[in-house]
Amino acid sequence: MPELPDVEGFRGVMERCAAGRRVDDVEVRDAGVLRGVSARRLRRELRGRRFGTPWRHGKQLVTPSDGPALVWHFGMTGELLCRTPDAAVEAHDRVLITLDDGRQLRYRDQRKLQGVRLAADEAAVERMLADLGPDAQELDRSRFLRLMAGRRGGIKSALTDQSLLAGLGNLLADEILWRARVRPDRPVRDLGDDELRRVHAAMGRVLRSSVRAGRVPDRRGWLTGRRDDAAPVCPRCGRPLASGRTAGRRTVWCEHCQS
């Protein structure tokens, strides 16, 4: 599932492929990924427009143009690709945007849980993103501590609550808490300042490495590299990892290393 680092990677694809390019044509092969806009209107509003520099907030990607903006949310399986028009179109390529240099931006998405919205102007973009907290990558320590102060519920639920801070999903939250040696079910209000500082520091390190890799890397030294093993063990202490569920998602942690 695309989290902040994946979407940052898609931002790079978008920037290299489309920034400064004019839209020659838009082909919607499956309108199931359009949110609040018809295929006909998307095409009409975008043709002839020139794309600006894309930017990301949390897991959302915004592509401005000299007309409306596109706001992308990749759901569970979405991705952006830059292709030449002669490259074979795959079954899950839902929207093809042909650019004035002949290249094609393709939105591929198997499950179609989210997709693309059209925002008339900057104010419309802001309204679409209004329910999101600050971007996790931009969050300095003092602001992080202020966000967590007085927060109810467990630390993992807090980290993945997009209205509190935007960008972290299931894999990142587990990885960060394993690095910080904090159990995912610990109530936020029971955490000391030192523990919250460790969580913030781990978040910064995990995000930097993941953004460089374009995803949460499944290296053997990372929890993410072990969690899907048949009998997963902690990369730090070698003991079996524990697993449970948080808000419907699988949570993995080490009983020995995390307290």
Q: Are 58 and 167 in contact (CB under 8 A)?
A: yes
Pattern 207-236, binding to Zn ion, x per CB under 5 A?
---------------------------x-x
190: CB partners within 8 A, 6+ apart: none
Shortest CB 176 distance to Zn ion, Å: 15
What residue number has its CB nearest to Zn ion?
Answer: 234
Q: Assess whether 59 carries a catalytic annotation.
A: yes
Q: Assess whether 249 carries a catalytic annotation.
A: yes
Catalytic residue of the set 112, 186, 236, 249: 249
Shortest CB 181 distance to Zn ion, Å: 9
List the structure tokens of 56: 């990301």
> In a 10 Å sphere around its CB, with 0-12 CB exposed, 13-18 middle and 19+ buried, how is residue 124 labelled?
middle
Nearer CB in complex with Zn ion: 152/220: 220
Asked if 181 interacts with Zn ion (CB under 5 A), we say no
Shortest CB 125 distance to Zn ion, Å: 43
Q: Are 137 and 207 in contact (CB under 8 A)?
A: yes
230: CB partners within 8 A, 6+ apart: none
Q: Which of 100, 237, 240, 250 binds Zn ion (CB under 5 A)?
A: 237
Q: Of the ranges 46-54, 118-126, 209-217, 249-257, which one interacts with Zn ion (CB under 5 A)?
A: 249-257
List the structure tokens of 93: 């390529």
Shortest CB 235 distance to Zn ion, Å: 8
Q: Of the ranges 42-50, 123-131, 167-175, 251-259, which one interacts with Zn ion (CB under 5 A)?
A: 251-259
- Contacts for 121-128 with beta carbons within 8 Å, 24 or more apart? 121/68, 121/69, 122/64, 122/69, 124/68, 124/69, 125/62, 125/64, 125/69, 125/71, 128/60, 128/71
Q: Assess whether 64 carries a catalytic annotation.
A: no
Shortest CB 200 distance to Zn ion, Å: 21
Nearer CB in complex with Zn ion: 137/251: 251
Nearer CB in complex with Zn ion: 47/181: 181
Nearer CB in complex with Zn ion: 69/254: 254
Shortest CB 210 distance to Zn ion, Å: 21
Q: Assess whether 3 carries a catalytic annotation.
A: yes
Q: Of the ranges 127-135, 144-152, 159-167, 247-255, which one interacts with Zn ion (CB under 5 A)?
A: 247-255
Catalytic residue of the set 11, 21, 49, 59: 59
Q: What is the dihedral of CA 95, 101, 103, 106, to 10 degrees?
A: -20
C-alpha 216 chain-centroid distance: 11
**Cα–Cα distance list, 102 to 16, 27, 86, 220 (Å):** 14, 14, 10, 41
Q: Using CB under 5 A, list all residues that contact Zn ion.
A: 234, 236-237, 254, 256-257
Instruction: List the catalytic residues.
Output: 2-3, 59, 249
